Amino acid sequence: MKRSTVLSLSAIAGVAVVGGALAIGLPQENASAATNVATGFASQNGGTTGGAGGAVVKATTGTQIHEALCKRAAASTPITIQVEGTINHGNTAKVSGSSCNTAAGLIELKGVSNVTIVGVGAGATFDQLGIHIRDSSNIVIQNVTIQNVKKSGSPLSNGGDAISMESTVRNVWVDHSTLVASGGESAGFDGLFDMKDDTQYVTLSYSILRNSGRGGLIGSSETDTGNSFITFHHNKYENLDSRTPLLRGGVAHMYNNHYLKLNESGINARAGAKAKVENNYFQNSKDVLGTFYTAAAGTWQTAGNVLDNVTWSAKGTEYNPAGPSMASTTTVAVPYTAVLDSAACVPSIVAATAGAGTGLKVSDGKCAVTANPTATATTSPTKAPTTSPTKAPTTSPTKAPTTSPTTAPTKAPTAAPTTSPSASASQPTGANLSLVGSADGSSKMSGTSFGYVKDGKTTTYWSPNGTTGEVSIKWGTATKVARINIVPASGSSIGAYQVVNGSTGAVLKSGTGAGVITFPATSLTKLTFKITSSTTTPKIAEFQTFAS
């Protein structure tokens, strides 16, 4: 990365302007944590580079952020503002100048362009104070946390939105950020990520939206349909009531997002909207896609999504869920190339990359995490997986995905099982093939999930409704497996089992207990671990599969 000049705000008033750039005599330092390569729709319309090529300024208060904007040569002079510490009402005052239009109580990017705001060092938290983008273009917001912004109660900021864009906004990229609330509208909060009144070419990537009544909207009413060309990818939406997002008119592309605990509804396409919904993982949620609360219908194109414990309501005059089949109702073209991860690995990829403070890690498009080569973030990165998948699956676990997988029923054994001790002492080597597969099963206890047996965590698990049941790993193409590792949850035990080729019903191994189990290498598309007896309710934390 090009070495950037860092200005201290105490000295900025004495900086000379030379040819539209800031000239200073301070030592140079490679301190910028921002990357200048936008993705999705933000890469179109000339691209989104923020303050690339301009001065780099450090700020520890909201007032200093405003000062940095106001002391530029012009409202379009590029600038990167590195933020560290907590920004709140007490340290965010209005600052005046010819290159800005700020306000107290929120970060105001009004009538400006070519600006990057990026969290560095120990991190940047905007506490109860939002970021408002108005009549502006080419804005990058990266590696920040914005929390508990209120529209009612005290203190107030930004209409209750964590980030809002309105009134002729173009090319905004929000990346590796965390947007959180502590309740819904009745508790004083509004949207986490809102766009209205002619906002276009926006990407939200590798971010977390959590604990709010409303994730965000695109269009403030059924007549505000000029907002368009929005991309959402590799984000985690968790514990939200609705609007993930609400899309009125326009085109949006949602891919490789993890939607977890959408309590009332999810992606709400209305008023002629067109949503391209690909390779997302929807989990423990209700009505994740459709047209809700209006008769003004929207449309969608779906492919490769995973539905894990998703429930659907009945259709009504003003309520049209897309499920359970989630069949496409339109086609949507996007002008950029996106390399999509398989939906099955999205929870683990998003867990390792999304949000502030994750080291700006990204996916390589093959279900593995990689460092962002153009970023020099100073926060501690999340450890990346050490294995890569062999091929992306095309099927999905549990309930109906957007394409109907062919799932072979478990048949009666074709040969007498060979009883053997359960756990082999030889530990498996190579890639865990389950990470690129999907999961389903015969039953599950409330609060557990088939997908938990392949999420890389021993704190989550699948458990049957009772002492017997089965869980399977599936692949879109024939995959050779010769060894598995059944990892029980803490305090749990496994009784008698069968390892079954789910494609043919043949029993490959039987025994008791958990651990490493070997059998003759078999090429298959589905492998089932069937618990035939147990003294207590079994709990499987991980169902790992290996070629050798």
325 and 446 housed in the same domain: no
The average pLDDT across 541-548 equals 92
**Residue range 284-299: average pLDDT?**
97
DSSP 415-477: S---EE-S--SSPP-S--GGGGSEEEES---TT--GGGGGSS-SS--B--SSS-EEEEEEEEE
Q: How confident is the model at residue 236 (pLDDT cuts 50, 70, 90)?
A: very high
Q: How many CB atoms lie within 10 A of CB 152?
A: 12
CATH code of the domain in which 324 resides: 2.160.20.10
Closest CA to 12 of 58, 62, 80: 58
Residue 91 Cα distances to 10, 38, 130, 382, angstroms: 15, 31, 13, 31
Tell me the two tokens of residue 428. Answer: 């498996």
Question: Are residues 195 and 63 part of one domain?
Answer: yes
Annotated catalytic residue within 243, 248, 270, 483 = 243
Report if residue 377 sits inside a domain: no
**Domain final residue, candidates 353, 372, 404:** 353
Confidence of residue 445 (pLDDT cuts 50, 70, 90): confident
Report yes or no: 263 and 355 within 8 Å, Cβ to Cβ.
no
Within-domain flag for 397 = no
DSSP string, 107-169: EEEES-EEEEEEEEEEEEEEES--EEEES-EEEEEES-EEE---SSSSS--GGG-SEEEESSE
- Assess whether 28 and 140 both reside in one domain: yes
Residues 309 and 426 in one domain: no
Domain boundary among 321, 353, 385: 353
Please check whether residue 391 lies inside any domain of the structure: no
* Closest to 436 in 3D by CA, of 354, 369, 343, 371: 343
What is this structure's pTM? 0.67
Q: Which residues of 406-431 are buried (b: 16+ CB within 10 A; e: fewer)?
A: eebebeebeeebeeeebebeeebeeb
- Banded model confidence at residue 197, pLDDT cuts 50, 70, 90: very high
Which residues neighbour 416 within 8 Å (Cβ) at sequence distance 6 or greater?
Answer: none
CATH number (domain holding residue 526): 2.60.120.260
Mean pLDDT value across residues 41-54: 96
Strand order in the sheet with 193-196: 107-110, 131-134, 163-166, 193-196, 217-218, 246-248, 267-270, 289-292, 319-321
For this structure, is 243 an active site residue? yes
Question: What is the predicted pLDDT for the residue at 194?
Answer: 98
The answer as to whether 327 is a domain residue is yes
- Residue 165: domain span: 4-353
385, part of any domain: no
Question: Which among 307, 332, 353 is the end of a domain?
Answer: 353
Asked if 344 and 461 sit in the same domain, the reply is no
b/e per residue, 362-396, with b = 16+ CB within 10 A? bbeebbbbeebeebebebebeebbeeebbebbbbb
User: Sorting pLDDT into bands at 50, 70 and 90, what band is 372?
Assistant: low
Residue 9 included in any domain: yes
108-163 pLDDT per residue, tens: 999 999 999 999 999 999 999 999 999 999 999 999 999 999 999 999 999 999 99
Quick one: pLDDT at residue 371? Answer: 81
| Nearest-angstrom CA–CA distance, 111 and 99 | 8
CA–CA separation, 203 vs 515, rounded Å?
A: 44
Interval 350-367 mean pLDDT = 95
